[in-house]
Structure 1
């Protein structure tokens, strides 16, 4: 199974959802990044249904189209837990498109490089503010227990600290650039 399958199982382990709800959550979440389309979600859901990892229920609505709500099964929970425990954690990913962009700016005028860094700094500051607000609102916290809340609190701390480190690097870069003759 691929990561999208386990992402879906994890979301359904939190609460029953429609495919549309899953797509929105993946689009909005800084943790469950995935840029696929709805067809991939529904294809994965069909496979998970066939494997017995999820079930679905058709909910009838009077003023809107009917919707299928998916839920995780016990065997789906077992598969999710096995994946969590048996999959080797990946090394942190530090490849950033911005580093490629800035790496070729060395021959440009300092003012132009500083302008580029200022724009990047602003984007990083915006990301910090967004992640802090998401953490404050606990937008995607599956908050069923103290331990689960703590895990998600730490996930958002990790995100915020990563952006804070990026901001510090950018500020030092700009200061060092200004100090050059």
Structure 2
């Protein structure tokens, strides 16, 4: 996913400054991003050069002027074309799965501690996600758009819930296996 398309998407909602765009990313429960400001401003500049967004410079007295970005007709066409394009299948990157592939060499206690730590991390992610979703500002111009954003939130929520349930079941089974090996 290119950040440019996400920027076009936000600008289809309303005109925004670069700072406002960055805040939408930071506060989003559904669009995870942890980049720096250059990762917003560089693509915005490129979008402007490509004629996909326009920029209105607004003076602010003694403070630096604000640059307010708006979607152009060409930007709308580009966004629509991207939205209609075939999406890639999701790519799962989970370091724990790689660790588990060779975790048989660990004593039970170390493996259990690893999984417990992962569970705690997932529980924290769920709390953070729920809080971000609660205060997220998202476009809700139509009932369908509201439904789509809520569906994205449910997808992320179900991912973390499923991952937590899976980790708990692996840990439970390993505990059972350890108890059996100590008995036998």
Name the counterpart of 1:42. Answer: 41
Name the counterpart of 2:89. Answer: 91
1:168 maps onto 2:171 in alignment: no
Instruction: Return the TM-score normalized by structure 1.
Output: 0.87
What secondary structure is seen at the aligned counterpart in 1 of 2:125? helix
The C-alpha deviation readout for 1:102-161, integer Å capped at 9, x for no partner, is: 333221111111111111101111222222233333x13211221111100000000000
Does structure 1 conserve the Cα–Cα contact (< 8 Å) formed by 2:29 and 2:133?
Answer: no
In our comparison, the structure showing a higher alpha carbon Rg is 2
Name the counterpart of 2:10. Answer: 11
What secondary structure is seen at the aligned counterpart in 1 of 2:104? coil
Q: Kindly state the Cα deviation for residue 33 of structure 1 after the two structures are TM-superposed.
A: 3.6
For 2:27 and 2:99, the matched residues in 1 are separated by 26
- Consecutive aligned runs of 4 or more in structure 1 exceeding 6 Å deviation: none
Kindly report the root-mean-square deviation, in angstroms, between the aligned alpha carbons of the 2 structures: 2.0
Name the counterpart of 2:126. Answer: 128
For 1:10 and 1:75, the matched residues in 2 are separated by 13
Higher relative contact order (CA 8 A, sep 6+): 2
What secondary structure is seen at the aligned counterpart in 2 of 1:59? strand
Structure 1 spans left out of the alignment, 5+ residues: none
Structure 2 spans left out of the alignment, 5+ residues: none
What secondary structure is seen at the aligned counterpart in 2 of 1:140? coil
